[in-house]
Amino acid sequence: MSKRIAVATLVVALSTVLAGCASPAFNNAIFAKANALQAAPAYRIGPGDQVTIRVLGQEDVTESLVQDIVRPDGKVSFPVHGDITAAGKTTAELRTELQEAFKKTLNMKKPRVYVAVNSFDSKSVTVLGEVIRPGRFPYHGQMRVADLLGLAIGPKDTFAAPNRALLFREVEGATKVYHVHLKDFFNKANFDTNFYIRPGDVVYVPKNGWAKVYNGVRKVFLPFSAIFDSIGLGGRSVSYFAPVP
């Protein structure tokens, strides 16, 4: 195998790989600064969340406090009052509803009710791709893309393309894809695409062009290991293109 052929093969490999650096998902994604992505969504209680419901001013009365996990049917039980449907409501909505309901069931003129979510286990968001810790994480409400990337400890330095990151979101039965410029967050202090996350969102950090070049070169050169052996390079040449530990 002549040097000229080897160089030509390498050039073809690089050209082919670099030509495909932008994925169809990236090309079709929306360059958006939509209000829906910039507005903080209200957290809605779901099955599996732990909630506290307390009647203020009644701290000495055992029946005035409940700390419980929302059941699969979306309810928690409150002494005397009975079952309370918590799922699907914000803490403010549930508080307003109970302050009205407790007038009758607890025989109080102006009950003051405290409602809080103590643990968030009903909803999740996902980070995939070139991050240190990809996976699914609990959705806490008021989360932005940067918060989610902090949990995932990413993006990676070597092969990540942070300005080609994508946010996938289900909207009315269809998946919409939005561009997220992670690199701009830290290099330019530009947080225009630091969107608020919603339950079920997926953030994907793709590989950069060099990662694709690296993989493309390995695919081209590894089959020629026998040829390298014949000219005295042996296993050393293969190790040049071996995966990084």
- 118-159 pLDDT tens trace: 999 999 999 999 999 999 999 988 899 999 999 998 888 777
Residue 58 gets the label, from left (phi > 0), alpha (psi -120 to 50) or beta, of alpha
Q: pLDDT band at 36, cuts 50/70/90?
A: low
* Burial label, 20 (beta-carbon count in 10 A; 0-12, 13-18, 19+): exposed
Q: Is there a shared CATH topology between the 23-42+123-209 domain and the 50-119 domain?
A: no
Q: Which 8-state DSSP code applies to residue 82?
A: E
Instruction: Tell me the CATH number of domain 23-42+123-209, given options 1.10.10.10, 3.10.560.10, 3.20.20.140, 3.30.420.40.
Output: 3.10.560.10
Per-residue tokens: 217: 């070169």
Residue ranges per domain, the chain? Answer: 23-42+123-209, 50-119
We find that the CATH architecture of domain 50-119 is: 2-Layer Sandwich (3.30)
Q: pLDDT value at position 208? A: 80
